[in-house]
Amino acid sequence: MLRVAEARVWPGHAVTVSVRIRGIDAPEIRSRCAAERAAAKKARAMLGRLLGDGPVTVSNIGGDKYYGRVLADVTTAGGTAIGPAMRRLGAVRAYGGKTRQTMCRP
């Protein structure tokens, strides 16, 4: 699940970066499968509710295999770890870096 963050790297300087949340496999919004697209919309809405309007902490930052984004842990100001919360709520699956499996039946 990919979100955009503005990282304040030092006072008066910020960069915008795409963040992939570590440890989750979210349904694809651009899937050919209607059921997966619907699941992706629900997961996106759930992520929005979890994040709210408050600040988040992005930690354990590493490069992702795709250019232009980072892989990181994301935690709300209230201490909710987003990846595990999304898994507990059933919106996403655990992901350890292997080949992604489809969320639709063949």
Distances (CA, A) of 86 to 28, 31, 46, 97: 15, 20, 8, 17
Task: Give the per-residue pLDDT at 5.
Answer: 73
Residue ranges of domains in the chain, CATH in brackets: 2-94 (2.40.50.90)
Share of the chain above pLDDT 90, in %: 40
Largest CA distance in the chain: 51
* 55-78 tens-digit pLDDT: 888 888 887 666 677 888 999 989
pTM: 0.79
* 37-58 tens-digit pLDDT: 999 999 999 999 998 887 888 8
Q: Which two tokens stand for residue 41?
A: 């919309």
Nearest alpha-carbon partner for 46 in 85, 97, 94:
85
Nearest alpha-carbon partner for 52 in 70, 74, 19:
74
Across-strand partners of 75? 57, 81
